[in-house]
Structure 1
Amino acid sequence: MENKRLDSLDILRGFDLFLLVTFHPVAMALIRAVDHPLGNLAGTQLRHAEWEGFVTWDLIMPLFMFMAGVAIPFSFSRFPGQPGTGVYRRIFKRVFLLFLLGMFCADNLLSLNTDKISFYSNTLQAIAVGYLIASLLVLHFGLRGQIAGFFLLLATYWALMKFVSAGGFGGGDYSPDHNLAEYVDRAVLGRFRDKAILENGVLNFGSYRYTWIVSSLNFGATTLSGVFAGQILKGSHAPTRKTGLLIVTGIAMILAGLAWSLEMPVIKKIWTSSMTLFSSGICFLLMAAFYYFIDCQKHGRRLAWLTIYGKNSIVAYMLYQIVSFSCITDSFLHGLNPIMGKYYVVLMKAGNAFLLFGILWLLYREKKFLKV
């Protein structure tokens, strides 16, 4: 397949960002305002699972990583032959910038308070690590080696969590307070772990239970699953054949994840291997649907507006994380507060989303895209 940009990838990426920065805040505000049992039930799908299990909202972050992987075979085709310094420079520059931007998004650098700096705690940083692992495997191994690397990452994570124990953590314990990934993050990151507070010389980690260091193995596996999808899409098969391969692979991954969950629970917060397979399988199915209807059937015209989010996904994410649009929105709409009552917050969230989209639209119109 020629190395042209996939419209389906841009639109799927835009769809993911739209859910995060527009649909989610408005929908959750509306659900709280209405306060109806059916709405509250739907709201459970828009909140991360407390621990075990998987809900719709748990797919947002894996889908980000998956799409970063899909793009790798296309971007690396510009560097044929043996990898040179140029491609390594590109990889490490991107990893560094994503890590730095992640620290801005986590409000570490903007606070100018060294006591609140956390080193590894953001989606962009997880994407950076996953991208690094997947990129190095793609550069130095063929497809068989990449597949072997994928299963090795999953198996290494499982073996560490299953058989290694330290300080009362691990040894097959997947509970929030006693799994090995939690122990490693506390031991390595210490005061620089997100939400960690030093009180009277004692570190208090609060209720924060997301893990990053051991989970990095499966960040790599998630991104590598996207690489496999990208290789299918970049291949020479007919479009319907590519769609079929994506669907079959996705179903196989979902079933494998469910089977593995009988031994290792599906837990997004610590990114278990079963969760990695299950979520990657759903990503494959989404990629298949978007590719078939947009690139094959040319039905993407009505969804083309999503590329405004998709082509500036990092800008959209950072604006959502860093900028408070509420002061602007409230300045223009505060007169409606007494009239709208509890629904005023819904209007505010919609106004914030409109302002963010307006900025992205202006950048899109001027063809200004942030590349890292």
Structure 2
Amino acid sequence: MKNSSQPQRLASLDILRGFDLFCLVVLESLLHPLANAINSDWFHQLMWAFTHKEWEGFSSWDLVMPLFLFMSGVSIPFAFSKYKTDTNKLPIYRRIGKRVLLLWIFGMMCQGNLLALDPQNIAFFSNTLQSIAVGYLIASLAFLHLRQRNQFILAGAFLFIYWAAMTFVSVGGFGGGNYTPDGNLAEWIDRTVLGRFRDGVSWENGSWSFAPWYRYTWILSSLNFGVTVMTGVFAGMLLKSNKPELVKIKWLIYAGAAMVALGWLWGLEHPVIKKLWTSSMVLVSSGYCFLLMALFYWWIDYRKHNQGYTVLRVYGMNSITAYMITNVVSFKCVGQSLFYGLEQYTGNFYPVLISLCNVSVIYVILWLMYKHKLFLKV
């Protein structure tokens, strides 16, 4: 990791990334305890927009993780274009390898129980940062070595391979077009390969038991993690091109709308399921990401409305730091120490107050880093 002064950046990308991290760091922390405190039907209905789909379908909250992957791809053409023609790519390979390794370790710290220092309780592949690592590795190598046309072909091939495997491969009662939580092929692969190192696994009655509440899959889904990041690369190549800004915006909208329509159409046969990261879900989510990128690029970079977004820049320009602090360190003890006497008066709203204190401390840390131009990059 390194410190750097603020470089020239695509303002809309920083602010969109900040919006995504604001959702992860602030809204997720505050809205759920607030819903419990209010305990009203109208608020619980509102929470649909901030709750993941249990299985099939897609909610607005399901876009948070794909958007994180997508934006890691948008930056690749801006960062790597100068390396495409280099005959000696060892330095950029080292840079990519370092990023992938650090993201993987950070993912194990956030969700893989690495900090528990208990080998019996480690989940090897279980976190958003690791899906970014895999997708980034695939997308960056494809960008460095393939022409744009061949990158499109590779992305399409990955989508097709995933669909074909899930549809036609059957092993031990899993797969063969089965998309149920306990019967799909991706579930069988994760159970078989990761075993006790999968998240949600516990030792019961002399054997490892797979928790029924955990049905995220990672290994076969890695193909489509790569595609999600590659769609970000495609958007980044468009934004970096010399085309007029309005043309860029139109193509972002056209491509986004086409992917959303195609994804939902494909979903009639190949269900849209985020926990499996199905090919149809990739098209749907990436289409929405294209549309969001078009909106932010139009408003911020084209219309030049780039003032007054400091809060989002604070999160967006230290996105990995914000994610790590939120998932690894809890500052709730600060609120519990300062406001413990208010619990008797605030009742069900006391957890909301403590969560507010937690996210406030995190924001102050990130704001101080932003103010002093301290940006920690993997």
Structures share fold, TM-score greater than 0.5: yes
**Pick from 89, 92, 95: which aligns with 1:90?**
95
Aligned to 1:244: 250
Aligned to 1:20: 24
Aligned to 1:63: 67
- Contiguous gaps of at least 5 residues in structure 2: 1-6
Matches within 5 A, 1:216-231: 216-231=222-237
Specify the SS of the correspondent of 2:82. coil
Specify the SS of the correspondent of 1:198. strand
Task: Name segments (4+ residues, structure 1) moved above 6 Å.
Answer: none
**Pick from 3, 9, 23: which aligns with 1:5?**
9
Distance in 2 between residues matched to 1:329 and 1:172, nearest whole Å = 50
State yes or no: 1:288 paired with 2:294.
yes
Specify the SS of the correspondent of 1:147. helix
Deviation at 1:4, TM superposition (A): 3.9
Aligned to 2:178: 173
Matches within 5 A, 1:19-168: 19-82=23-86, 84-168=89-173
Aligned to 1:271: 277
Which amino acid counterpart does residue 184 of structure 2 have in structure 1? N
Aligned to 2:362: 356
Distance in 2 between residues matched to 1:219 and 1:55, nearest whole Å = 19
Specify the SS of the correspondent of 2:52. coil
Distance in 1 between residues matched to 2:71 and 2:288, nearest whole Å = 12
Specify the SS of the correspondent of 1:209. coil
Q: Is the 8 A contact 1:222 1:280 kept in 2?
A: yes
Moved more, 100-109 or 56-65: 100-109
Deviation at 1:197, TM superposition (A): 1.6
Q: Is the 8 A contact 1:107 1:322 kept in 2?
A: no
Deviation at 1:80, TM superposition (A): 4.5
Aligned residues: 370
Deviation at 1:107, TM superposition (A): 4.9
Specify the SS of the correspondent of 2:208. strand
Provide the TM-score with structure 1 as the length reference: 0.97
CA deviations 1:171-216 (Å, max 9, x no partner) are 0000000000000000000011111123243221012110000000
Q: Is the 8 A contact 1:99 1:124 kept in 2?
A: yes
Residue identity over aligned pairs, in percent, reads: 53
- Contiguous gaps of at least 5 residues in structure 1: none
Distance in 1 between residues matched to 2:84 and 2:310, nearest whole Å = 32
Aligned to 2:209: 204
CA deviations 1:118-159 (Å, max 9, x no partner) are 110000000000000111111111110000011001000000
Distance in 1 between residues matched to 2:207 and 2:170, nearest whole Å = 23
CA deviations 1:194-250 (Å, max 9, x no partner) are 111232432210121100000000000000000000001000011111111101000
Distance in 1 between residues matched to 2:211 and 2:27, nearest whole Å = 30
CA deviations 1:55-109 (Å, max 9, x no partner) are 1111110000000000000010232413510111111111011001111111522
Which amino acid counterpart does residue 40 of structure 2 have in structure 1? H
Aligned to 1:327: 333
Q: CA RMSD in A?
A: 1.1
Which amino acid counterpart does residue 284 of structure 1 have in structure 2? F
Distance in 2 between residues matched to 1:200 and 1:280, nearest whole Å = 43
Distance in 1 between residues matched to 2:283 and 2:8, nearest whole Å = 29
Moved more, 26-35 or 272-281: 26-35
